[in-house]
Structure 1
Amino acid sequence: MILCLTHSQDTFTIDLVQQRLEALGYEGFRFNSDEFGTKYRLRYRLHATGPQYELRCGNRVIDAREIRGVWYRKMWDLQVPPSLDPAYVPAFLKEYRTSLHIFLDSLDVPWINRMDLDHAVGANKLMQLTAARSVGLHVPQTLFSNHAEDAIRFFDDHGGNVVVKLHGALSKSMDGKSDFFPTTRLRKEDVPMLESLSACPMILQEYVPKDRELRVIYIDGDFYTGSLRAPELTDWRTGNTTLVSWETWELPAAVEEKIHDMMTLLGLPFGAIDMIVRPDGEHVFLEVNPQGEWGMLEKYLGFPIAATIAEKLVNRIEQYG
């Protein structure tokens, strides 16, 4: 059995991966992380032969020893029962989060991706940029600061060609319909607003002229790359997403090799990588999202991403023994 760790609103991608797992002879059990405190029961017992962990959902009982691999798609915040007294909500969240991680930490099996590495990389864009530069990928000049003088000097040093963005995304989707702060070109008239950085540190980067934006899906050495032309937008999600037209893109072999080296260095078998192709053809690394969206590439370009995730995980399981 393979545990598919996701959330209750996940559609399309989770179904495709489970279908391929079943075709390969493995049952995929969908575990909606946000419903853990409302629809699941967890039991831990310490026997003379060792610990026993059980996950219960309705009449279904899963012994942790049955789980041979984990696909870590996403984890969402826990749902709180509406009948719960607000005074008990902090304890509810704390204890259920602890229980969930005790269960997941017990799974000494192949993961795509391992949760600790997934979270560490996803939460640290500066680590990503450092790793990308170390393997030879081109990355933009970057400043992360809460100090207005630093930001103003950075703006001036780059002749005003600077974009600004939050370190963490506010949106959970690629369609731009949720609340999010997009990557924004900083204008001269915006510079006085940098005095407010003390309230919210932000990332400033040199503006990179672009011919295309790329979403590169990396799966354990395989690549699926979609591209789009959106030169008039700093962040394509700020436009009308119904007009966005994804096209296939062939990464140069040297760029693929460097991305592979970076992902190996970060310990991630899966990642959604954002890049820019400059008008001169140079590929510029922006970031890697260990839980990035890819359904649009499978849907519009026909990439077998879901099947590849399932196959790569099964390969790791069979090699693990």
Structure 2
Amino acid sequence: MILCITHAQDTFTIDRVQQRLEELGYEGFRFNTDEFGTKYRLRYRLHASGPQYELRCGTRTIDARQIKGVWYRKMWDLQIPPSLDPTFVPAFLKEYRNSLHIFLDALKVPWINRMDTDHAVGANKLLQLNAARAAGLIVPQTLFSNHAEDAVRFFDDHGGNVVVKLHGALSKTMDGKGSFFPTTRLRKEDVPMLESLSACPMILQEYIPKERELRIIYIDGEFFTGSLRAPELADWRTANTTLVQWEPYELPPAAKDRVHVLMTALGLPFGAIDMIVKPNGEHVFLEVNPQGEWGMLEKYLDFPIAATIAEKLVNRIEQHG
């Protein structure tokens, strides 16, 4: 059995991966993490022979020893029972999160991706940029600061060709719906607002002229790359979706080699890498999202991403023995 960690609103991608797992002879059990406190139960028992961890959903009980591999797709915020007294919400969240991690930490099996590594890399874009440069990739000049004078100096040093963004995304979706602060081109009239950095540190980067934007899906050495010619915006998700049309793109072998070195160094079998192709053909690394979206590439470009995730995980399980 393979545990597929996701959330209740996830569609398309989870179904495709589970379908391929079944074709390969492995049952995929969908675990909606947002429903853990409302529809699942965890049991831990310490026997003379060792600990026993069980996950229950309805009438079904899964022993941790049955799980041969884990696909870590998404971790979602816990649903809070509407009848729960607000006074007990902090305790509810704390104890259920602890219980969830106790269960997941017990799974000493192959993962794509391991949760601790996934979170560590996803939460540190500066680590990513440094590792990308060490792997031979071109990265933008970057400043992360809460100091207005630093930001103004950076803006001036780059002739006003600067973008600004949050270190962490507010939106969990690829379409930018909901709370969302897009990567934004900084204008001269915006500079006085940099005084507010003391309330919220932000990333400033040199603006990179772009011929194309790339979303590269890396799966254990395999590459699937979609490209688009978005309007001249710093963040394509702010564009009218009718203007955004994905096209297949063949990443040059040298860029593939460097991305492979990067992902190996970061310890990530899977990741969604964002890059820019400059008018002169140079490829510039922006970031890697260990839980990045890829359904649009499978849907519109017919890339076999879901099947490859399933196959790579099964390969790891069988090599693990």
Task: Name the SS of the counterpart of 1:287 in structure 2.
Answer: strand
- AA partner of residue 32 (structure 2): N
Corresponding residue of 2:265: 265
Residues 90-145 of structure 1 deviation map (CA, whole Å, 9 limit, x = unaligned): 00000000000000000000000000000000000000000000010000000000
Matches of 1:202 and 1:315, distance apart in 2: 41
Which residue identity does 2:204 align to in structure 1?
A: L
Indicate the residue corresponding to 1:98 in structure 2.
98
Q: How far apart in 2 are the matches of 1:192 and 1:204? A: 15
Residue 233 (str. 1) matches residue 233 (str. 2): yes
CA contact 2:132–2:138 (8 Å) conserved in 1: yes
> What is the deviation of 1:267?
0.1
1:7 equivalenced with 2:7 (yes/no): yes
Query: Could you list the per-position Cα deviations for residues 215-235 of structure 1 after superposition, in whole angstroms to 9, with x for gaps in the alignment?
Result: 000000000000000141111
**Paired position in structure 1 for 2:64:** 64
Structure 1, unpaired ranges of 5+: none
Q: Counterpart in 1 of 2:195?
A: 195
Q: Counterpart of 2:310 in structure 1: which amino acid?
A: A
- Taking only aligned residues, the RMSD between alpha carbons, in angstroms, comes to 0.5
| Partner Cα distance (1:143, 1:301) in 2 | 35
Offset at 1:66?
0.2
TM-score of the aligned structures, taking structure 1 as reference length: 0.99
- CA offset digits 1:245-278 (Å, max 9, x no partner): 1000000000000000000000000000000000
Structure 1 match to 2:43: 43
Aligned pairs (5 A) from 1:87-166: 87-166=87-166
Q: Which moved further from structure 2: 169-178 or 53-62?
A: 169-178
2-structure distance, mates of 1:231, 1:6: 32
1:256 aligns with 2:256: yes
Q: Deviation at 1:179?
A: 1.9
Amino acid at match of 1:233: L
Aligned residue pairs, count: 321
CA separation in 1, counterparts of 2:73 and 2:89? 26
Q: What's the CA shift string for 1:23-78, capped at 9, x where partnerless? A: 00000000000000000010000000000000000011000000000000000010
Tell whether the 8 Å contact from 1:129 to 1:139 is kept in structure 2 after alignment.
Answer: yes
2:295 aligns to what?
295
In 2, the alpha carbon distance for the partners of 1:209 and 1:102 equals: 46
AA of the residue aligned to 2:246: W
Whether contact under 8 Å (1:117, 1:268) holds in the other structure is: yes
Unaligned regions of 5+ residues in structure 2, if any? none
**1 CA distance for matches of 2:49 and 2:241?**
56
Partners of 2:158 and 2:317 lie apart in 1 by 49
- Separation in structure 1 between the aligned mates of residue 170 and residue 118 of structure 2, nearest angstrom: 18
For the residue of structure 1 that corresponds to 2:4, the secondary structure is: strand
Report the CA distance between 1:178 and its aligned residue: 2.1
How far apart are 1:150 and its partner, in Å?
0.3
Conserved 8 A contact 1:211-1:277? yes
Is it true that 1:308 corresponds to 2:308 in the alignment? yes
Q: Distance in 1 between matches of 2:244 and 2:156?
A: 33
The residue identity in structure 2 corresponding to 1:103 is: F
